[in-house]
Amino acid sequence: MNRREPGTTPTNRTGHTSPVIGDGENGATRYEDDSVPGLVKKLAYDLSTLFNQELALAKAEIKSNVKDVGSGVSSIATGGAVLYAGLLFLLGGVMLLLTNWVDLTTAAFIVGAVVTIIGAILLSSGKKKMSADSLTLDRTIDSVKKDADMARRKMQ
């Protein structure tokens, strides 16, 4: 019969009769007399599980990064609109101040030229900061490297 003794645990492996000898690392169960095909099958299963976990980590990290970027874009848009209104009033004041020394048309061209140059510099700086490096999955890359190192050490 297939009755088990009280206090024993099933192996959940069909056709596997060797007794459990203890827990392996990271909660993996070790068995006596594991065959090479059985170990290869277990390795394939563990690698599949590890890949799925790494994929889940990458998805979570991407969602977090996208959420942060969305929040940042919203803040930038709101701040930019308020800053733009304030800047228009300041530029109007500077232009009116310049009319003490030059006529209104010349003052408008001077203020417009200075603002255009400053805007071009800021645009160039912002473009450099908006690179693909800001969306790098640092934690996932580090985790995969650690997993690869661990697997390499276990295979030796």
DSSP 1-18: -----TT------TT--S
The structure tokens listed for 120 are 């071009």
Q: How confident is the model at residue 16, as a pLDDT?
A: 47
CA distance 98 to 27: 77
Identify which of 14, 17, 18 has the alpha carbon closest to the alpha carbon of residue 41.
14
Mean pLDDT (whole number) for 110-135: 83
pLDDT higher than threshold 70 for residue 153:
yes
Contacts of 156 (CB under 8 A, 6+ apart): none
Mean pLDDT (whole number) for 92-110: 94
Entry pTM: 0.39
Mean pLDDT (whole number) for 134-147: 77
Q: Helix 36-98 vs helix 104-129: angle between axes, to the nearest 10 degrees?
A: 170
Q: Where are the domains of the chain?
A: 34-155
Mean pLDDT (whole number) for 79-86: 90
CA distance 70 to 93: 35
Half-sphere exposure of 130 (CA within 13 A, CB side): 9
Q: What is the rounded radius of gyration, in angstroms, for the C-alpha atoms of the chain?
A: 32
Q: How confident is the model at residue 88, as a pLDDT?
A: 92
Mean pLDDT (whole number) for 10-25: 49
Mean pLDDT (whole number) for 42-50: 85
